[in-house]
Amino acid sequence: MSLKKIALMASLALAAQVHAQSVPTGGTLVIVPAFGEVTHANDEATASFMVEEQDKDKSAAASRVNQKMKQGTEIVRKEDPKATLKTLGYYTYPVYPEDRPQPNGMPSGKPRVPTSWRVGQYLEVKTMNLGGLPKLAASVQKVLGLNGVQFGLSPATTKALDDQRIAATYQNLNERIASIAAAMGRKVGDAVLDTVDFEGSGNYAGGQGADAAAPKMMRSMGEPGQQVAEPSFEPGETTLQMRLVGKVKFK
């Protein structure tokens, strides 16, 4: 008998022994995690504008901030009437001179007197007119500084994608159940779906949408009437994910 035939017979005997010693799977409860995701182009932008002025006269600084913020708000409403506006983060604080060390190394003990005042405010703009956003930003930058832009999905789009996300996740569950049944030497028809837990994922509603840009300290840019070149934006896309846990029992 050739070595090839001997090896073949040995492998068949080993496979038969493993099959005979396999653990019974009747009544087995299997926990199956499943994942799904959908990707969609971003259709909403959140732009953060700001203005900051510094002056020895606190009222003068506040007056310029108020005037510029009003002008910027009017520009937004003219360029994009459907945009949602929200003013926030109005601040006023004193600016003190740097402390100079005394000859004896001790503080002077004199009360600190501010040399000027710094006043500022932020404007948040939400819009779905992504095509007109560069022109809007350039127009507003004539009087306000652009603090940041973030892109995401609008609530309506997120809601519309939810059906697709659930379907993709449930399909992945069925695919995993089929793979597990094959690995256990069982038929898919022997598996009965006992429980589907959409709440056990921990991240089924996370990682979506866009948050307002974090405020940054910066001076206002541009003067009224000054032309600003249009910036370039790439909205990108957002991926919505879902995870579920299914409990499957084999007959």
Predicted confidence band at 219 (pLDDT cuts at 50, 70, 90)? very low
Q: Are 92 and 53 in a shared domain? A: yes
Q: Are 160 and 147 in a shared domain? A: no
Query: For residue 117, is it within any domain?
Result: yes
**Total domains present in the chain:** 2
Q: Are 179 and 117 in a shared domain? A: no
Query: For residue 196, is it within any domain?
Result: yes
Alpha-carbon span 38 to 163, nearest angstrom: 10
* pLDDT reported for residue 18: 47
Q: Does the pLDDT of residue 56 top 60, yes or no?
A: yes
At 200, which CATH number?
3.30.110
* pLDDT reported for residue 228: 83
**Structural domain of residue 249, as residue ranges?**
24-43+153-214+237-251
pLDDT tens readout for residues 122-162: 999 999 999 999 999 999 999 999 999 999 999 999 999 99
Place of tokens 């600016």: 95
Q: Are 71 and 169 in a shared domain? A: no
Q: What is the mean pLDDT of the segment spanning 181-201?
A: 80
Place of tokens 């009747």: 26
Of residues 213 and 102, more confidence is placed in: 102
Of 155, 152, 151, 136, nearest in space to 81 by CA: 136
Q: Does the pLDDT of residue 10 top 60, yes or no?
A: no
Query: For residue 14, is it within any domain?
Result: no
Q: Are 34 and 157 in a shared domain? A: yes
Q: Are 175 and 251 in a shared domain? A: yes
Q: Which of 18-22, 73-77, 124-128, 155-159 has the lowest mean pLDDT?
A: 18-22
Query: For residue 176, is it within any domain?
Result: yes
* pLDDT reported for residue 6: 53
Of 37, 52, 230, nearest in space to 149 by CA: 230
At 62, which CATH number?
3.30.70.2970
In terms of Cβ atoms closer than 10 Å to its own Cβ (0-12, 13-18, 19+), residue 98 is exposed
Q: Does the pLDDT of residue 92 top 70, yes or no?
A: yes
User: Cα 131 vs. chain centroid, distance in angstroms?
Assistant: 21
Query: For residue 50, is it within any domain?
Result: yes
Q: What are phi and psi of 117, to 5 degrees?
A: -130, 140
Of residues 79 and 199, more confidence is placed in: 79
- Which residues make beta-bridge pairs with 54? 118
Query: For residue 225, is it within any domain?
Result: no
Q: How far is CA 199 from CA 86, 130, 205, 243, 246, in A?
A: 34, 34, 10, 9, 11
* pLDDT reported for residue 186: 82
- Which residues make beta-bridge pairs with 245? 33, 197
Angle at 241 between CA 237 and CA 244, to 5 degrees: 170
Angle at 158 between CA 153 and CA 160, to 5 degrees: 130
Place of tokens 């029992």: 249
Predicted confidence band at 15 (pLDDT cuts at 50, 70, 90)? low
Q: Are 169 and 201 in a shared domain? A: yes
Q: Are 249 and 202 in a shared domain? A: yes
* Torsion of Cα atoms, 13 then 17 then 18 then 21, to 10°: 170
Most confident of 1-10, 15-24, 191-200, 235-244: 235-244
Q: What is the mean pLDDT of the segment spanning 218-240?
A: 72
- DSSP single-letter state for residue 21: H
Alpha-carbon span 126 to 154, nearest angstrom: 10
| Full-model pTM | 0.68
Q: Are 66 and 124 in a shared domain? A: yes
Q: What is the mean pLDDT of the segment spanning 231-235?
A: 89
Q: Does the pLDDT of residue 28 top 90, yes or no?
A: no
Q: Are 49 and 37 in a shared domain? A: no
Of residues 177 and 28, more confidence is placed in: 177
Q: Are 50 and 38 in a shared domain? A: no
Q: Are 162 and 87 in a shared domain? A: no
Sequence-distant (≥ 6) Cβ neighbours of residue 110 within 8 angstroms:
none
Query: For residue 3, is it within any domain?
Result: no
